[in-house]
Amino acid sequence: VSVTFPRGFRAAGTTAGMKPSGRPDLGLLVADPVQSVAGLFTTNAFAAAPVRLSTRRLSRGVPHAVVVNSGQANAGTGLRGDHDAEQTTALVAEALQLDASDVLACSTGVIGEPLHMEQYLGAIPGLVSSLSDAGGDAFAEAIMTTDAVPKVAAAERAGYRVGGCAKGVGMIAPDLQLATMLVFITTDAPVPPSDIRLLATETLEPRFESLTVDACTSTNDTVLLLSSGAAGGDLVVSGTDAWVELTAAVDEVATSLLLQLAADAEGANHVILVEVSGAESEQHAQAVAREVAESILVKTAVFGGDPNPGRILQAIGSSGVPFLPQLVDGFIGDVQVIAAGEIAPSYFDGGDEAARLALVEEREVVVSVSLGNGQGRSRMIGVDLSYDYVKINAEYST
């Protein structure tokens, strides 16, 4: 599984010693051959040095390899950060007999702390020599920070393989492009450079934009989609049957990674799926869904096992989206808690207990809202807010 499930990819992970925990902290992924690459990056104005380097190199060529370190984010590190990112990718390129411009970089960890260059550079030769087509799991482990478990997924359709891995437990919010989330998705389907970006923006971007852990957009978010083309055959381009199959496989991997990211979110006991329908447009539906999913009053209520439809109603109303209050319905699981813009009368007649059970007995809580205003629908994936979230974030420097 993971990123080496598709043919034409090698990966590796090692412990360079840059992380205080002493766990694996350096990973390398190489497409060989490479057909095409696309990337989605954070919109944060303080984008990290590796984000700026990768954005630049992706715009000019078809990079073959990506080196990823965990422990230091190499963000807020100024010119030194740029220089360090250049140097690490140059050494990787040399060991792989590639041009430096063929190597991308990702970093995740503490913002402001410079890369521990001695350990980083010292580990590169060993990392390169351990590259293998079974290295996907080692790579997935090396990119973790406070993640409890690695997130990996794989799918196969119409002879095309898609693999992926991701890391991220906090500082995750949607903002055109995503958050402290690193996601790597590989495929052996031969997608030409002209179409891979479309696959990324049409299939991956909306998926990863629907995840909001804490409404904070990171400096380092990166999603890379790499095609080796090793499956052979005709080029897979937009509008063909093969494209539909490949899109479905990529979607399957992305959705799996997304739910794994939410389930492992810092301190989260519940994943909250907010499904909004009946909005005037998809944008309106998304705005309402985001307001509910990011409301810390809703998040703490879910943590406390309190259905609290009043807070859901308050969040819907503060979204800025126009609608008629008296047409709004809302459900927790299958239990109606908002009816015609009021707390459902049944809620005060036993419905509260049914709603409470729908919360506490499910790890994935579904909150659905119908605005009665049109055909627009959208979904956001959030998580509850627990003591552990506060504990982790009050005690850990990111």
Q: Which of 325, 354, 360, 362 binds a second copy (CB under 8 A)?
A: 325
Residue among 136 and 267 whose Cβ is closer to a second copy:
267
What element of type H or E holds 155? strand 151-157
Residue 306 interacts with a second copy (CB under 8 A): yes or no: yes
Element (H, E) at 394: helix 387-395
CB 251 within 8 A of CB 207: yes
Candidates 3-11, 96-104, 234-242, 296-304 — which segment interacts with a second copy by CB under 8 A? 296-304
Clarify whether 180 is annotated catalytic.
yes
Q: Of 14, 180, 219, 247, which one is the catalytic site residue? A: 180
213-242 b/e with 16+ CB inside 10 Å = b?
bbbbbbbbbbbbbbbbbbbeeebbeeeeeb
Residue from 342, 353, 361, 364 binding a second copy (CB under 8 A): 342
Cα of 54 vs its chain's centroid, Å: 18
Tokens for 121?
A: 């550079």
374 binds a second copy (CB under 8 A): no
Rounded Cα distance, 397 and 225, in Å: 30
The verdict on 215 binding a second copy (CB under 8 A) reads: yes
Dihedral sign of CA atoms 81, 83, 86, 92 in order = negative
∠ CA 109-113-116, rounded to 5°: 85
Per-residue binding string, a second copy, 155-174, x by CB under 8 A, is: ---------------xx-x-
Q: Which has the closest alpha carbon to 209: 230, 193, 219, 223?
A: 223
Q: According to the binding rule CB under 8 A, does residue 373 interact with a second copy?
A: no
Question: What is the C-alpha separation between 381 and 114, in angstroms, rounded?
Answer: 33
| Minimum separation from the CB atom of position 89 to a second copy (A) | 21
Q: Which is nearer to a second copy, 86 or 156 (CB)?
A: 86
Give least dist CB 297 to a second copy, A.
Answer: 5
Note the residues at the interface with a second copy (CB under 8 A): 43-47, 73, 75-78, 81, 110-113, 170-171, 173, 175, 214-219, 294-297, 300-301, 303-306, 308-311, 313-323, 325-326, 338, 340-343, 347, 385-387, 389-391, 393-395, 397-398
Question: Which residues form the catalytic set?
Answer: 180
